[in-house]
Amino acid sequence: MSSISIIGAGNMATAIGTQALKGGNTVEVIGRDADKAAALARTLGNGATAGTWGAVPTGDIVILAVLFAGAVPIVREYGDALADKIVVDITNPFNADATGLAIPQDTSVAQMIAEAAPARAHVVKAFNTLFSHVLAAGNPVDVFIAGDNAQAKASVSAFITSLGLRPRDAGDLSMAHWLEGAGLLEMGLARNGLGFNLSLAVNLGTTI
């Protein structure tokens, strides 16, 4: 199974950490607030540990479970500590009222993270189209991913599969822009009649 470090201690960190441990993975929780990170590790149990902010993460896969505005600064701060790591960006760059994207139209948070990350790190976009409570429910939903490195995507796909979820490869990291747009689409659907228990999925059934 995979070794996972989660930077963040909020709802998505909790949901991913819980499902990761159920899938037999090891989990390290890291946060600027060491007490909050330690509290989440204790809540997760099952061998979850609390890491030290700024130190080299123990996980081969490092999940950025933070607000999008903090993602690039955190990657810059960590610098070479992320070399040879797979960095998973789960963020959505929504504007203040979640009616648009708060970044330029020709990029994505994931691409901005890749520019800030050390050369030997590999960035993969994943999990951004899942609400935390939908992920926590443990149903076999689809997880869309994008990234430039095939081996990194294979590792993230194996991790996703260990959670009982279905990895769906959307292509290279430029597709992260459209995955972030899909997250915005979900917000619109949720607020205009469908509610927040939805997730986007691929239908592989035969069509006529």
Residues 143-168 pLDDT 10s: 999 999 999 999 999 999 999 999 99
Cα separation, 14 vs 200, in Å, equals 21
Phi, psi (5° rounding) for residue 118?
A: -65, 155
- What is the pLDDT averaged over residues 57-65? 98
- The helix (H) or strand (E) run that includes residue 122 is strand 122-125
Instruction: Quote the pTM value.
Output: 0.96
- What is the pLDDT averaged over residues 45-49? 97
Task: Give the per-residue pLDDT at 208.
Answer: 53
Instruction: Please give the order of strands across the beta sheet that includes 49-50.
Output: 49-50, 26-30, 3-7, 61-64, 86-89, 122-125, 142-147, 166-169
Q: Is 207's pLDDT higher than 80? A: no
pLDDT band at residue 197 under the 50/70/90 scheme: very high
